[in-house]
């Protein structure tokens, strides 16, 4: 470790200490997350200005920052499966009307899929307005390597069909899925948890003593898991700081400028789709501004971490403790939203990419003959997209191969992939929270006292990590 790296890490350590002091002096959780993001940006800019994005000093510094950033994400991923299982089982055991389980599933998944269709149309619109095209773009060595990688992944994408995808949701070996071994492991665990919950309610009358013991076990497990969630969430400002510093320090300004039109179109589409989410919230009779204030911390984490699945614990906490959504609905929305109907990664991104690439093979992308099948394929392909880094790439491969478009051209965007992936992931999480909030509202289960609590915008985050 050389002197510049030691100095860089000393500054990072000082920032972490400052964030700790903010926590010790009871500065609100939202402000600490915002501070972590801002300080991460400043450190990333400073590192890039002093050394350059590709310098050894930045690379080594990022390797140490990765311990904090990726370490935090791994801790969140560690508690995803236990959280999903105990929360869903607990919610089903508490259900007095079993039919509400079906209503929750239909409303949640339906909202996710419909919003993905809307997201695809918005992506097409922005591609038109920004006049995006891959015609004339040249490839660097990294982009050529990325193209080769995508070609290698193409057979996997082509092998995907709706029946096989639905079949993959069924947990043939639930213990294997608890390890996250498959792209659809999260949904498989959700289904397994539902089976356990339904089986438990089935013995409530016939074997009340056994049911009471099981119910007590679930309550104990739930308390312990939620305590684990609390401990990990305390690290959020530190994780956000490290992740943001890494992204900014390693991003090439020249590459961003070269593809600035795609970046601008992407974020315009993401912003417009986020407005659609807020319109849905407003239509449900909720204050959209208060809603934004309450979900900001989880969106900030999703933006910096680039993992929808990793945001599940924080999403559930935000929905239950800040938005007044019941825990069962919150878990359904967060879990399904991490692999189904991701508005950013599976909606906007593949739509824009298809429109951008189509002219290279002589296809007019703004005809009904192209747009209708594109939106249909995107909607079907959005089922089962993994909520981790690379999910958007896989979704794009499915769409491009189904539309008979050259997948290798997607490699042209490798240099700006992290930059646009941050916004896409934040929109994915926003979509899942919107689905949960709308479902809860339509079923009349939203605790409006929690949602309307003005002080909660500042203080509830402290309750999350108390």
On the question of pLDDT at 61 being above 90, the answer is yes
More confident site: 48 or 415 = 48
In the DSSP assignment, the letter for residue 363 is -
On the question of pLDDT at 141 being above 50, the answer is no
Lowest-confidence pick of 23-27, 93-97, 337-341, 444-448? 93-97
What is the percent of the chain with per-residue pLDDT over 70, rounded to a whole number?
Answer: 85
CA distance 12 to 5: 10
What's phi and psi for 214, nearest 5 deg?
Answer: -65, -40
More confident site: 305 or 98 = 305
pTM score, whole prediction: 0.79
Per-residue confidence (pLDDT) for residue 140, from 0 to 100? 47
Query: What are the residues facing 340 on neighbouring strands?
Result: 383
Instruction: Compute the half-sphere exposure of residue 85: CA atoms within 13 Å on the CB side of its CA.
Output: 19
On the question of pLDDT at 111 being above 90, the answer is yes
What residues contact residue 29 under an 8 Å CB cut-off, 6+ apart? 236, 237, 297, 461, 462, 464, 465
Q: Secondary structure of 167-214 in the HEC alphabet?
A: HHCCCCCHHHHCCCCCCCHHHHHHHHHHHHHHHHHHCCCCCHHHHHHH
Summarize pLDDT for 173-190 with one digit per residue, the tens: 888 888 877 777 878 888
Per-residue confidence (pLDDT) for residue 177, from 0 to 100? 86
Sorted by where each starts, the structural domains of the chain and their CATH numbers stand as: 3-464 (1.10.3860.10)
CA distance 240 to 34: 9
More confident site: 464 or 244 = 244
3-state secondary structure of 340: strand
In the DSSP assignment, the letter for residue 362 is T
CA distance 125 to 269: 8
CA distance 344 to 346: 6
| CB 246 within 8 Å of CB 422 | no
Instruction: Compute the half-sphere exposure of residue 48: CA atoms within 13 Å on the CB side of its CA.
Output: 18
Angle of the 141-158 helix axis to the 391-402 helix axis, nearest 10 = 70
Closest of 74, 137, 61 to residue 406, by C-alpha? 137
Closest of 228, 297, 299 to residue 77, by C-alpha? 228
| CB 445 within 8 Å of CB 122 | no
Give the best-scoring range by mean pLDDT among 202-211, 247-256, 409-418, 448-457: 202-211
Q: Which two tokens stand for residue 85?
A: 């299982």
Q: Tell me the pLDDT band of 399, cut-offs 50, 70 and 90.
A: confident
On the question of pLDDT at 65 being above 80, the answer is yes
Summarize pLDDT for 9-18 with one digit per residue, the tens: 999 999 999 9
CA distance 330 to 301: 18
CA distance 252 to 273: 27
């Amino acid at each position: 470790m050389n002197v510049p790296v030691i100095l860089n890490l000393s500054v990072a350590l000082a920032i972490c200490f400052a964030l700790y002091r903010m926590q010790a002096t009871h500065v609100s959780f939202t402000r600490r997350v915002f501070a972590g993001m801002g300080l991460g940006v400043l450190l990333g800019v400073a590192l890039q200005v002093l050394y350059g994005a590709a310098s050894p000093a930045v690379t080594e510094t990022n390797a140490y920052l990765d311990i904090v950033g990726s370490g935090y994400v791994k801790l969140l991923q560690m508690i995803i499966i236990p959280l999903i299982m105990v929360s869903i089982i607990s919610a089903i055991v508490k259900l007095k009307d079993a039919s509400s389980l079906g209503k929750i599933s239909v409303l949640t998944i339906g909202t996710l899929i419909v919003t993905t269709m809307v997201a695809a149309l918005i992506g097409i619109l922005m591609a038109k307005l920004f006049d995006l095209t891959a015609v004339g773009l040249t490839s660097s060595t990294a982009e050529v390597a990325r193209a080769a990688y995508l070609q290698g992944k193409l057979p996997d994408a082509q092998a995907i069909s709706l029946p096989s995808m639905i079949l993959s949701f069924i947990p043939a070996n639930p213990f294997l899925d608890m390890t996250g071994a498959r792209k659809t492991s999260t949904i498989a665990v959700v289904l397994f948890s539902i089976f356990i919950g339904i089986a438990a309610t089935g013995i409530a009358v016939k074997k009340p003593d056994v049911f009471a013991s099981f119910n007590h076990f679930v309550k104990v497990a739930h308390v312990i898991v939620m305590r684990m969630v609390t401990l990990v969430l305390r690290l959020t400002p530190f994780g956000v700081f490290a992740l943001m510093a890494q992204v900014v320090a390693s991003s090439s300004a020249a590459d961003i400028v070269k593809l600035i039109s795609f970046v601008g179109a992407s974020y315009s589409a993401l912003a417009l789709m986020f407005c659609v989410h807020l319109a849905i919230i407003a239509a449900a009779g909720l204050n959209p501004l208060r809603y934004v204030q309450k979900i900001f911390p989880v969106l900030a984490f999703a933006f910096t971490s680039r993992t929808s699945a990793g945001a599940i614990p924080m999403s559930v906490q935000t929905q239950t403790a800040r938005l007044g959504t019941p825990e069962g609905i919150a878990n359904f929305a967060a879990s399904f939203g991490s692999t189904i109907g991701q508005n950013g990664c599976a909606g906007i991104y593949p739509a824009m990419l298809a429109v951008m690439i189509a002219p290279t093979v002589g296809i007019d992308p703004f005809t009904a003959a192209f747009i209708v099948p594109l939106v249909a394929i995107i909607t079907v392909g959005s089922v089962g997209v993994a909520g981790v880094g690379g999910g958007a790439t896989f979704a794009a491969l499915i769409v491009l191969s189904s539309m008979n478009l050259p997948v290798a051209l997607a490699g042209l965007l490798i240099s700006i992939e992290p930059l646009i992936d941050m916004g896409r992931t934040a929109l994915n999480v926003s979509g899942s929270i919107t689905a949960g909030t709308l479902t809860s509202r339509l079923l009349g289960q939203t605790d409006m006292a929690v949602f309307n609590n003005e002080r909660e915008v500042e203080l509830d985050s402290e309750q999350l990590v108390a």
